Chains A and B, each alone.
Chain A
Amino acid sequence: MGSGRDWTWFHRLGSPRWFYETTGRWLPLLWAVTLALLVVGLVWGLLYAPQDAKQGNSFRIIYLHVPVSFLALAGYYIMAIAGAVGLIWKMKLSYMVMKSAAPLGAALTFLALFTGAVWGKPTWGTYWVWDARITSMLILLFLYLGVLALQYAFHSQDTGNKASAMLALVGTVNIPIIYKSVDWWYTLHQPATIKLTSAPSMHPDMFKPLLVMILAMYCFYALVLILNTRVEILQRERKTGWVRDLARQADTGPDNQ
């Protein structure tokens, strides 16, 4: 490993300015794709998909609950990996991505818990039970909030970054626990409908709009993460020449380039 392997491409990738300029070109397309998928998925799922034989229309909350839960879990890995890259390569941009992922993940986890509670009341007969799935999701919410809080807990940005990244990495333990909790313990929450190894236990007419919504949520996540990171870049790099130039251009009026 110690041989002359060239890692400079990787370091160039970590330039905040490069990230800001490149994502700026992608944003219009990403906005269009995200909005289109969200509209198609929501209209299809909420209006045209058949209702469930036992639950009636209340099952339709699945079109929000499952996609936000997916991204609440996947987003944690994005945050933790960004933290690890920051610790190992001391990459500034990586820490900015990590910090931007924290409030987004917390919001998605809260939505997963909230939509679950709204659905649980008519279906199970209660808003909340302390079963393994729901409790481990609550821990995930606290982990996201903890990573965010540590960012503000130190005078030095560098110390805050390291502390946040450590917590994010230790917290990765929780993700497989959440995922497998419905199989490992006796939970009120039902096991997974969508499985990697076999066909979903859901009628195709109901499953197709769910797939669109999951795809839409992935795009939405990417979009919001990029927007958050761009704000974070401008804030942390405000003393650099290129950000000052950007601000000057914005002051003197729109400049079509």
Chain B
Amino acid sequence: MAYTPDKPKLPESTEQLRARIPGWGADLDPADRPSVPQEVFDPDFSGAHWEFPERQPERWPRERSIEHKFVTPVFGTACPPRGLSGAIRRYSYAKFSEGRAAHWLLLLAADRVDVAESVLRSLASRHPDNPITQTGVRAELSHHGLRSRLGQNRADVVHHPLDPIIVAAPWIAGAGLAYVLVRRVVSRRP
């Protein structure tokens, strides 16, 4: 025990463990473990046939961390920044390093603005957002929503009621704002 020099006795001997657990001790020797040591200098191992990769064409000015010397030779091209959220993202990347909380808080704020912008854009499209089907909540009926939670002593069930609030709150706020604006416009008409 902790108060005397010897390590506590294990419940099973090595022989018992070897008999019970398939492969017990197969990687006992650290030399058999592929990430021991974590760093091994071997630039030819990866199969790359370049020292510095050819550069991917930049089809629009790619936002980058100011901790980088330049835009990396390869990068993702999903969802270029656009609208107000894009402006916030570009500002965050241009102004703040990864070490600044402002960088991440602005990006999180831009994510929320992006959602609002995308909902508005979708309402003007042939595929408007459906806040109910997109949550997959129908699975509550097909995959035993109640039985999966009740009597299971799960620690997460206590905060599940917050999830629909997180999803619905922006929609309710948006609908309320739209109602107020429409009422104001209508009341101004002679």
Q: Decide if A and B are genuine partners.
A: no
